[in-house]
Amino acid sequence: MNKDQNSRKSPQYADSSISDKAFKRAILWFFIYCSIFIIGVVFAVGADHSYLN
């Protein structure tokens, strides 16, 4: 019984695969949004720092 469980392959889901182009586009947009967020944080911290001094 244990041997049968180990030899069974994991199920493949047809709907879980996305195209390579869409995956690369999603990564690109993720980094764009992250960089805009980081620039906004740096700007806000810099503006707050200059306001306090």
Q: Give residue limits of the domains in the chain.
A: 19-52
Give the three-class secondary structure for 7: helix
d(CA 36, CA 30): 10
> How much is the pTM?
0.55
> How does residue 19 score in pLDDT terms, banded at 50, 70 and 90?
confident
pLDDT score, position 3? 56
d(CA 41, CA 9): 46
Which is more confidently placed, 3 or 32? 32
